[in-house]
Chain A
Amino acid sequence: MGQDSGWSKRTLLLVIVFISCVTIFPWLGPPVYFISFAFNVFIYITLATSWNIIGGYTGYLSFGHVAFFGIGAYAAAIFGMWFGLSPALNILASIPAGLVSMLLAILVGYPCLRLRGPYFAVITLCFAFVTELTIRNLDFLGGADGLWLKGLALPIEVSRSIFFELMLVLTLVTLFVANRIEKSKFGSGLRAIKEDEEVAQTMAINTPKLKITAFAISAFFPGVAGGLYACYLTYIHPDIVFDVNVSILIVLMALFGGGAFWFGPLVGATILTFVNEGLSTFVKAEYARIIYGCLFIIVIIFMPNGILEFAKTRMVKKPAKFEAAVK
């Protein structure tokens, strides 16, 4: 609900040029490693941005968000198996896979969103564990062996580039939706819930409905991302797609960047994925973990509202004009 609801033409142009450059990047023949790395960055941006809709905007810290990613991955794989989809069609099945995640979020959210604060965090964490255990023990879902998917019959550079583009589109859509929500009536209702849920109710805000909606949206995009990831990797296993570290990492990424803005998780996820990759390339793995942990401690102590808020308060704030608001 910012004062400026539209971007200036110059900003818009810059954004379009930047996105175009990113789009053509994999076709310029860079090493496959870079394409895969960018693919990972996109996944984390998507996950952190989706998480932020329930966690950052609404103040419900979901610590089990990886479950929706994993469910999406399994749903896409199952759709592919049951309907005997070709690899290309299997990629499209990521969208219904996202809907499966969304449906589950509604079922789980209905009882869980009555809980607040640490209780909600714990129960979502448990939800992720329970989902993982269930899948690990169901033989028709591959159990502890995982599932194989058919890959695209294309050279690895081409196939990776295609997934790069698909994930880029998903990331942009997620960012766009988060941006629209932030500036909408819906988003301002979520902010009121975050601040004081009881007061929000006395402001005639239908808090249960808004929370469920936010939770469902925040589960959809990870579900689609999970589906794409399954097709990309052509092999999924509970250890990979239900990794609890991912759950925690996306929370940290969103909070690192700043949970109040749609681009907070974008900044947080980008920086942290680069830092993580840089550390694991140039520093011994054990030290990398320690440095990574220290970084979080520093950010949480000195910039509790994220680096963006930290940067904002350090810039000179111009006095706002009275007329500007009435306009």
Chain B
Amino acid sequence: MLKGTRIEKHFGGLKAITNLDFEIHQGEIVGMIGPNGSGKTTLFNLISGLLKLDTGKIEFEGSTISGLAPYRIAALGVGRTFQIVRPLMELTLLENVTIAVLYGRSNVKTVDMAREIAMSILTFIGLAPRFDNLPGQLGLEGRKRLEIARALGSKPKVLLLDEVFAGMNPKEIGGAIDLTFRIRDEYGVTVFMVEHVMKAIMRTCDRVIALRNGMKIADGVPEMVANNPEVIRAYLGDNYAKN
């Protein structure tokens, strides 16, 4: 469904992504792990078109999307959230999601129809009672939920979740894990997520991709990747990898 071939991205002398291949299949929940600076968010920015590739290509449903403008990629059905949440601060929660619905793939004709769909998404995400609030009135967890709600508003086929679980307490993480499954099962959205919270990765993902210094070091089921010596070395150093 979403496929990258020999992707490279440099920032001046820094190689952010080196010769990376990846593939996401329809209906999967795929996790991406790696230490800070390993290129996870860069990869998301490349997929969503906010950054341009140096070499290689990214395909979505068989057609090349690398090189397209971000709004074209989004219109094809690639949605995303931002690691540092970026709600439209002057607009209410309902307006945030309604605009996404209006311009997304739902093909609505009127603002009223879009508002209805947006309201159902807010209900799904658990923010419906606060639809008239401004994003500034929400806590971090609420803002992360809003970020997901807005992404769902565009009716994506695949959703890139950038560290949705970061900064949450254990109870909130439980809720977010549940939400991740429901996004796939109720909305039929394939999920590709960057995550540091291993508990969330182990419980939700069908498959995990591990990056280090912009290179892929592991790709497989969560248990296998978590026990991969290369991955342990990347996080904890050589001493732990030997056992």
Q: Is the CB of B95 within 8 A of A1?
A: yes
Q: Which residue of A lies closest to B82 (CB)?
A: A199
Given contacts A188-B99, A203-B74, contact A195 B90 (CB under 8 A): yes
Interface centre among B79, B86, B88, B153, by most chain A C-beta atoms within 10 angstroms, is B88
Residues on B with beta carbons closer than 8 Å to the beta carbon of A192: 88, 91, 99
Q: Which residue of A lies closest to B119 (CB)?
A: A326
Partner-binding segment picked from A147-155, A204-212, A231-239, A263-271: A204-212
- Name the one of B71, B99, B105 contacting A191, with C-beta atoms under 8 angstroms: B99
Q: Is the CB of A183 within 8 A of B111?
A: yes
Q: Is the CB of A188 within 8 A of B102?
A: yes
Q: Is the CB of A185 within 8 A of B111?
A: yes
Residues on A with beta carbons closer than 8 Å to the beta carbon of B86: 196, 198-199
Question: Shortest Cβ distance from A3 into chain B, in angstroms?
Answer: 9
Question: Shortest Cβ distance from B134 into chain A, in angstroms?
Answer: 11
Question: Shortest Cβ distance from B155 into chain A, in angstroms?
Answer: 9
B129 at the interface (CB under 8 A from A): yes
B98 at the interface (CB under 8 A from A): yes
Question: Shortest Cβ distance from B53 into chain A, in angstroms?
Answer: 17
Given contacts A5-B111, A188-B95, A195-B91, contact A322 B104 (CB under 8 A): no
Q: Is the CB of A204 within 8 A of B74?
A: yes
Residues on A with beta carbons closer than 8 Å to the beta carbon of B114: 185
Q: Is the CB of A204 within 8 A of B75?
A: yes
Q: Is the CB of B150 within 8 A of A203?
A: yes
Question: Shortest Cβ distance from A56 into chain B, in angstroms?
Answer: 12
A202 at the interface (CB under 8 A from B): yes
Interface residues of B in 77-106 (CB under 8 A from A): 79-80, 82, 86, 88-91, 94-95, 98-100, 102-105
Interface centre among B48, B50, B74, B99, by most chain A C-beta atoms within 10 angstroms, is B99
Interface residue tally on B, bucketed by range = 35 or more
**A interface residues, how many (CB within 8 angstroms):** 28
B188 at the interface (CB under 8 A from A): no
Residues on B with beta carbons closer than 8 Å to the beta carbon of A206: 71
A159 at the interface (CB under 8 A from B): no
Question: Shortest Cβ distance from B219 into chain A, in angstroms?
Answer: 26
B181 at the interface (CB under 8 A from A): no
Interface string of A211-236 (1 = CB under 8 A from B): 00000000000000000000000000
Question: Shortest Cβ distance from A313 into chain B, in angstroms?
Answer: 12
Interface residues of A in 173-189 (CB under 8 A from B): 183-185, 188-189
Given contacts A191-B88, A199-B86, A202-B79, contact A184 B111 (CB under 8 A): yes
Q: Is the CB of A189 within 8 A of B103?
A: yes
B70 at the interface (CB under 8 A from A): yes
What separation, in Å, do the CA atoms of A204 and B119 have in the docked complex?
19
Interface residues of B in 46-84 (CB under 8 A from A): 48-50, 69-71, 74-75, 79-80, 82
A86 at the interface (CB under 8 A from B): no
B115 at the interface (CB under 8 A from A): yes
Q: Is the CB of B131 within 8 A of A325?
A: yes
Residue positions of B touching A, CB distance < 8 A: 48-50, 69-71, 74-75, 79-80, 82, 86, 88-91, 94-95, 98-100, 102-105, 111-112, 114-116, 119, 128-129, 131-132, 150-151, 153-154
12 pairs, A vs B, C-beta closer than 8 Å: A1-B95, A1-B98, A191-B88, A201-B71, A202-B79, A203-B153, A205-B71, A205-B103, A206-B71, A322-B128, A322-B131, A326-B119
Going nearest first, the 9 A-B pairs with the smallest beta carbon separation are: A204-B74, A195-B88, A201-B70, A204-B75, A320-B132, A201-B71, A188-B99, A203-B100, A185-B102
